[in-house]
Structure 1
Amino acid sequence: MSHTGYTVIGNVSSRAARVLWMLEELGQPYEHIPAPPRSEGVVAFNPAGKVPVLIDDGTPITDSTAIIQYLADKHGAMTHKAGTLARARQDSLTQFLLDEFDAALWMAARHSFVLPEELRHSAIKSSLKWEFERSQKTLVERFGEGPFLMGEEMTVPDIILAHCLVWALGAKFPITQHRLTDYLEMMRARPAFQRAMAK
Structure 2
Amino acid sequence: MYEVIGSLRTRTFRVLWLLEELGQPYRFIEETPRSEGIIALNPLGKVPALRIDGDVLTDSVAIMTYLADRHGAFSAPAGSIARARQDALTFYIIDEMDAVLWSSAKHSFVLPEEKRVANLKPTLGWEYERAARHLCRRLEKSPFLCGPDLTLPDILATHCAEWAKAAKIMPRLPVFDAYLERMMARPAYKAAQTPRT
Choose the corresponding residue for 2:165, options 165, 169, 174: 169
2:129 pairs with 1:138:
no
Q: Which residue number corresponds to residue 143 of structure 2?
A: 147
Task: Give the Cα–Cα distance (whole angstroms) in 2 for the partners of residues 180 and 106 of structure 1.
Answer: 21
Q: Which runs of 5+ in 1 are unaligned?
A: none
**1:126 paired residue among 122, 128, 140:** 122
Q: Does 1:85 pair with 2:49?
A: no
User: For residue 49 of structure 1, what is the aligned residue in structure 2?
Assistant: 45
Alignment size in residue pairs: 195
CA apart distance, 1:53: 0.3
**What is the root-mean-square deviation in Å for CA atoms of aligned residues?**
1.1
Tell me which of 111, 133, 140 is aligned to 2:107.
111
1:83 CA drift (Å) = 1.4
Q: TM-score, normalised by structure 2?
A: 0.95
- Pairing 1:197–2:173 present: no
Q: Take 2:155 and 2:110, find their aligned partners in 1: how far apart are those partners? A: 24
Offset at residue 34 of structure 1 (A)? 1.3
Deviations 1:93-124 (A, max 9, x none): 10110011101000000001111112111311
Q: Could you tell me how far apart the structure 2 residues matched to 1:183 and 1:81 are?
A: 25
Distance 1:45 1:147 in 2: 38
What TM-score comes out, normalization by structure 1 length? 0.94
Distance (Å, rounded) in 2 between the aligned partners of 1:190 and 1:158: 12
Residue 18 (1) aligns with residue 38 (2):
no
Cα distance, 1:144–1:78 mapped onto 2, change above 3 Å: farther
Structure 1 CA distance for aligned equivalents of residues 50 and 118 of structure 2: 33
Give the distance between the partners of 1:166 and 1:59, measured in 2 at CA: 30
Q: CA deviation at 1:144?
A: 7.0
